[in-house]
């Protein structure tokens, strides 16, 4: 699709760039879920991290949703952070310390 077509459905320039990076990765290197299913979580995360626009949250959600990994926790998920903060009374001022406490 053209950038103009993608912009017309509300995607930002950066989102368009990231989507095209993913498409190029799939086209040139492949992204076979059956093959990835055989890999350890950390290997899949490392592969996905090599695609510009895919960060830890996206990669963790790929593991959970596309590969059905039930042993994955996404400490970068804002909703989970808010719930954990409320349930356990954890302060979120220092993101690094907060993330350590979550884990």
Assigned domain for 60 exists = no
Residues labelled catalytic = 77
Assigned domain for 98 exists = yes
Assigned domain for 17 exists = no
Assigned domain for 44 exists = no
Model pLDDT, residue 72: 92
Q: Kindly report, residue by residue over 34-71, the tens digit of the pLDDT.
A: 899 999 999 999 999 999 989 999 999 999 999 999 99
Model pLDDT, residue 31: 80
Assigned domain for 63 exists = no
Question: DSSP string of 5-74?
Answer: HHHHTT--HHHHHHHHHHHHHHHHH---HHHHHTS-HHHHHHHHHTSTT--HHHHHHHHHHTS--TT---
Assigned domain for 90 exists = yes
Assigned domain for 6 exists = no
Model pLDDT, residue 39: 95
Domain count across the chain: 1
Q: Kindly report, residue by residue over 7-27, the tens digit of the pLDDT.
A: 999 999 999 999 999 899 888
Domain boundaries, position 86: 75-103
pLDDT of 4 above 90: yes
């Amino acid at each position: 699709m053209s950038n103009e077509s993608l912009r017309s459905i509300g995607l930002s320039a950066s989102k368009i760039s990231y989507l095209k990076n993913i498409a190029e990765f799939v086209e040139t290197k492949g992204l076979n879920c059956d093959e990835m299913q055989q890999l350890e979580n950390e290997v899949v995360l490392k592969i996905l991290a090599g695609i510009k626009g895919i960060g830890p949250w996206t990669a963790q959600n790929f593991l959970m949703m596309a590969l059905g990994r039930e042993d994955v926790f996404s400490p970068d998920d804002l909703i989970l952070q808010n719930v954990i903060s409320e349930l356990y009374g954890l302060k979120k001022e220092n993101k690094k310390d907060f993330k350590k406490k979550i884990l």
